[in-house]
Chains A and B, each alone.
Chain A
Amino acid sequence: MKHLVSGLALSVALAVPALAQDTKVIGVSIPAATHGWAGGMNYFAQAAIDRLEEAYPELDFVLATASDPGKQVNDIEDMVATRNIDALVVLPFESEPLTGPVQNVKASGAWITVVDRGLSVPGIEDLYVAGDNPGFGRVSGEYMASAMPDGGKIVVLRGIPTTIDNERVEGFEAAIEGKNIEVIGMEHGNWNRDDSFTVMQDFLSRHPQIDAVWASDDDMAVGVLAAIEAAGRDDVKFVLGGAGMKEMVKRVMDGDTMIPANVTYPPSMIATAIEITAVGLVSQAPVSGNFIIGSVLVTPENAETFYYPDSPF
């Protein structure tokens, strides 16, 4: 497939004049902005690249966004073929299909940074930057337990059935174990506002008493809140979302009792990965290893530090 030069890579290649000998090129390959979190990730990737190009004239960046794994493989192959990248920062769409292509890039001698989703063969990446999914569930569960010291009945909305979702839910369940919190319903809202609205409506019809909701994601929290409001129910004390959407962080900041807290899973982790990779190329600082970004509890006290009004997410 190497002859298939994508329009993006081609136009970048043509637009940039012959590069000086010591210029280093970093390729960044990420999924396209197909949902809120990915939109935020695209925003932070672009922002990090703009900043670094300013700060380090000797660095050059190629950014490609892919709407499916196949397109992402093409992007990466094009980066190697036409730009001869020195480093690759990749957030794999899926682990399996991307493992082989990234392995080939590694064989060409480039530095590999893998973000968020690991590859299926260990040891390919030089640097691994990721969020902490079990930790995300654990922090959420611990908050639930502390917010309901006398226990209570909660419903849980899950994401799209994936490993990410399973790890979060397992972390959550472990954290609330023995805390007298009863999960009376658990359904998939698919990280989607409309689906979670529907699921929450049905939870409300089914259960006369719900003390709190773990929506596990801010998009789903939006749907859940609308359903509660429409049903006019006042038994639900609060809704805990997650991921740190700016509107939700704002509500935490303003002291909204329905949204008392949030748990981060920052899309800006892509910026961390790009920045560290750049530092590795321009300096002697060692940067290989694993960098796990913890999920932090956002409360009214610290919400301001997690509020990015310019981000789309």
Chain B
Amino acid sequence: MTVKPQARPKVSMSVIGPIAALIALIVMGALMNPNFLGPDNISNVLSRSAFIGIIAVGMTFVITAGGLDLSVGSMAAFVAGLMILVMNAALPSLGIGVPIILLGMATALVAGLIAGWLNGFLITVLGIEAFIVTLGSMGIYRSLVTWLADGGTLSLDFGLRTFYQPVFYGGILGISWPIIVFAVVVILGEIAMRSSVFGRHCAAIGSNDQVAKYSSVRVGRVRMATYVMLGLLVGVATIMYVPRLGSASSSTGVLWELEAIAAVIIGGTLLKGGFGRVWGTVIGVLILTLIGNILNLTDFVSPYLNGAIQGLIIVLAVVLQRESKPGA
């Protein structure tokens, strides 16, 4: 998917930086624990990356177009809660079967779409700062899920959960569904970012929305599309998330927004917009997940310091890129 850059005379550090960090982590993990490269662990790491990863692909477009969305973690929790409520409510009439799963999936996609559209509407039509709008919706969705769950946990009916479980745990040829869906989202995202008009318009708006406007880019519409797409991808991630534990509570998806944003930035997308790199985001997500995985697999540091190690590696991965930026 990625073009190996060695052949070119000038290799940008911003391309090598995240890849080098990822390789260093993999080597470190493999040296510290023999099970690290085992198929089970690789499968675990990839499927747990899928939630944040799918969301982060959408976030790449939002950030490239000069926006930001802080609400995705809360939105995922709310969509998951809503999905569970709808499925439990439909259980007596539909029974356990494929239709009720499809209903749940449709609920998640529609709810995500509407939530993304609302963010986009407030930002593009009413012209409010994305930071403020999504900070507000972050609080709203978090409260709504707490309220829906009455302060506790929303749980999917046990029989239904057992039926739905293969969507997270099952797969084709030993590759689980979350990994497959993640891969498909990434490939489509990469194509959209590189070779579609939409991707180029996102970058144009992110670097200078005035110039983009005079170049007859429909700024509002493209921006709106990025938020709607992100909302939809939150719905997709939720479809994978719910069958895992079959529950949602106010602690679901906490800090997912920051992990997604961190992954996007580690991957080389500019926080101020104008340039986005979908495959870089994937590297970023894998780096973040691997740090936690390696720390759990070893007694390398006190668990109290896990957060510090994570922070250090995030900053390092970005410092590696910065060095090379000519004239930046």
> A194: CB under 8 A from chain B?
yes
Interface bracket on A: 35 or more
Contact check, A194 vs B245: say whether CB atoms are below 8 A apart: yes
Residue of A nearest to B294 (CB): A202
> A205: CB under 8 A from chain B?
yes
- The residues in A between 17 and 61 inclusive whose CB is less than 8 angstroms from any CB of B are 32-36, 38-40, 42-43
Q: Which residues of B contact A230 (CB under 8 A)?
A: 169
Q: A205-B38, A222-B245 are in contact. Are A33 and B297 (CB under 8 A)?
A: no
* A230–B178 alpha-carbon span in the complex (Å): 14
Q: Which residues of B contact A39 (CB under 8 A)?
A: 149-153
Contact check, A40 vs B152: say whether CB atoms are below 8 A apart: yes
Q: Which residues of A contact B152 (CB under 8 A)?
A: 33, 36, 39-40, 312-313
- The residues in A between 256 and 313 inclusive whose CB is less than 8 angstroms from any CB of B are 312-313
> B35: CB under 8 A from chain A?
yes
> B304: CB under 8 A from chain A?
yes
Q: A194-B252, A205-B40, A206-B297 are in contact. Are A42 and B303 (CB under 8 A)?
A: no
Q: Which residues of B contact A201 (CB under 8 A)?
A: 44, 48
> B251: CB under 8 A from chain A?
yes
Q: Which residues of A contact B296 (CB under 8 A)?
A: 187, 198-199, 202-203, 206
* A187–B303 alpha-carbon span in the complex (Å): 6
- The residues in A between 173 and 206 inclusive whose CB is less than 8 angstroms from any CB of B are 186-188, 192-194, 197-199, 201-203, 205-206
* A278–B171 alpha-carbon span in the complex (Å): 58
Contact check, A43 vs B251: say whether CB atoms are below 8 A apart: no
> B250: CB under 8 A from chain A?
yes
Query: Closest approach, in angstroms, between the C-beta of A46 and any C-beta of chain B?
Result: 10
Residue from the set A33, A43, A203 with the largest chain B CB neighbour count within 10 Å: A33
* A194–B196 alpha-carbon span in the complex (Å): 36
Contact check, B250 vs A33: say whether CB atoms are below 8 A apart: yes
Contact check, A34 vs B146: say whether CB atoms are below 8 A apart: yes
What are 10 contact pairs spanning A and B, CB under 8 A?
A32-B146, A35-B249, A35-B251, A36-B249, A187-B303, A194-B251, A198-B296, A205-B41, A222-B247, A226-B245
Q: Which 9 A-B pairs have the closest CB atoms?
A: A33-B151, A39-B151, A312-B152, A202-B296, A39-B152, A205-B41, A312-B150, A205-B35, A201-B44
Inter-chain pairs besides A34-B251, A231-B40, 7 sampled, C-beta below 8 Å:
A33-B250, A36-B152, A194-B245, A194-B252, A201-B44, A202-B293, A312-B150
